[in-house]
Structure 1
Amino acid sequence: MKKVSIWLIGTLLFITSCAPSINEDEVVQENEETREETSIVPSYQLSEENYKMILPFKPSAARGVITDQLGNRVDIDEVEEGLRRHSKAEFDPEKYFYQEGQYLTEDMVIDWIDGLNPVVEDDEEEEVYRENPRYLSHVLEQNYLRKKEDNTVELVGISIGIAMKSVYRFQTEPGGPYYYEDISQREMMEQANEMAQTMLERVRQMDELNGVPIMFAIYREADQGSPIPGNFVAKTNIAGSDMSLNDWETIDEEYVLFPSDEAEEKYYDDSQLINSFGNEIAQYFPNYVGSIGEGFYVNDDLKKLTIEVPLEFYGKGEVVGFTQYAYGVLKEIFPNYYDLEVKIMSDEKMESLIYREAGAEDPTVHIFH
């Protein structure tokens, strides 16, 4: 691993030195229990909305736990990305650096999940499981650091994401059938509030985190088979000296599947645009069988629309031709006040990608070879 890290840093430094418009990378010292460690902070970032990350990359102290606790891949991605997105309001990407959580260990997270959920003995009756669902799925930590005048970095805040179930899936005996119990958002929030208070008290007992500002955010998972992720529903900020939670701030965001009854009822106009896109394609490509869309809404406003178009192609020429046609249809149909992404697929492989950022006039196209 050391050789790989050195090579990566060297490559980054080489690339940076060859680009006249980019400043040299910053070198900072991390004081880790009295021993200093040299780290690199790239002088560039992908955009002003993305955090710079300290290199060499340090994986989370609870790395890998999330994949065992969340049953849906789309939830795993959204918990991580969404928590970082909501952290930006408290920890400005232009001022602070991002690092994966270094303080909540694997054992600690698993102990919290097991200890904060209701305890049910094996082989209980179905009703006992229904009355005592496991609400909590995962606890995710993210760290935010600031560079000091002496070129060291210090921890200035942490974000803790609390992933809660919307549906409890259980078995009353090994190998038996699965049962499902819906959990209302109100019930979920009551449990999450109590759990977050307990987590806060435990975090404050850690010397490294006593006095550090914390943002808690509650994530409501989708059901296990959902093609779209759940969403964050509430967050709160705790000052470094506080030992109790503040009121929760409601987060109004959601992912919506197209086509679906929900999309048709709640976002009719967007549903019609997506239908029009499909109708235009179907006129010229007889093997088109439909597309799947995913809309991300904040306060009922569409922020990003992703459309996946599966087709069977018999040559690269067909891919190029279809992409060109889809490009024109996209420009004519969809307004440009939200991010738009069209993925053209065949046999679960992406053939081409059309992407347009909010406010841009022309999309960007990439055809994969």
Structure 2
Amino acid sequence: MGSVEVPSRHKALIYDNPGSISTKLEEIETPKPGVNEVLINLTHSGVCHSDMGVMTNSWAWLPAPTRKGQVGGHEGVGTVAAFGSGAESSGLKIGDRVGIKWMASACGNCIPCLAGADACCTAGKISGYYTPGTFQQYALAPAHYVTPIPDALPSDAAAPMLCGGVTVYSALVKSGARPGDWVVIPGAGGGLGHLALQIGARGMGFRMIGIDMGEKEKLVKECGAEVFFDLSKYGRDDEGTKKLVEDVKEATGGVGAAAVVVCTASNAAYAQGLSFLKFRGTLVCVGVPEGDAVPIATADPASILALEKRIVGSAVGNRKDAIDTLEMAARGLVKTHFETQPMSKLTEVFERMDKGKLQGRVVLDLSG
């Protein structure tokens, strides 16, 4: 099996003031793997909008506020550094590259797990929320639940695929769209959206429409959107929404889209999304709005039943989705547009994210 030297302490980024955008770089004790666990020497971690939701306590659906000192992060890639008792039987070897996802572990026995929806496990542990996450140099994970990283995929490029890529791949599958169908992506220039465009256009044969702010048009079109709509050119009132709906319908030949995959946390995007759909079209809920819950304004039963529209929830993806997404990335069909930042810049990254100034993703280099 071989062995590597594991330090007694390592660097980690903690949420030092949950409820606000603030992180602190500290040195913490390196844990020892328990039964059926592996210790992973993490080299890279993606930074996701979900991390900000956890850090700032802006998700009302989570059962408790994030605790002070929590290590965040859930898109980690690294190498197996040590085994706990029984973990060797997993087939892993010291030095194997593996990833940690949003769901850090799943029981395998609850109803969602038995249905192949382990990301919805009723006993699952979320990475970076009451379970130490991937914004650190060493982390524990169940040996059976880590994701193997293909040899052809660099670790920094693989990290955002473990949440962003898996999430939109699973959502596009659930959309029911078929090759040649129009699919609309609100939030197209963001971390999720730019991956959804590529997977949809290049991996699934969909015709993609991107919606976002004007400065993201170049990125959105590079990622496979045939049509782009600049939100800044539409008012936030009913007239602006009506014009956007009309323009989307016109772009699809007047019939509407087969699917809308909402890749933003905007309540407005959800309110508009159902109106973009054609007969038997599907709205897939991916982005999690922050603050108090706001109903989808256009989700009146009459309009839904008349055109037999569907609303589908999609929470990340399962282990098979993760493997499929990484294989797609290894083949070059989807590439994360990302910038690499040191651990010391995480608070700054979150501040840029909060202002909507990020294009694509940020990946932390955890080497120091």
- TM-score, scaled relative to structure 1: 0.25
Q: Which has the larger radius of gyration?
A: 1
Answer 1 or 2: which has greater strand percent: 1
Higher relative contact order (CA 8 A, sep 6+): 2
- TM-score, scaled relative to structure 2: 0.25
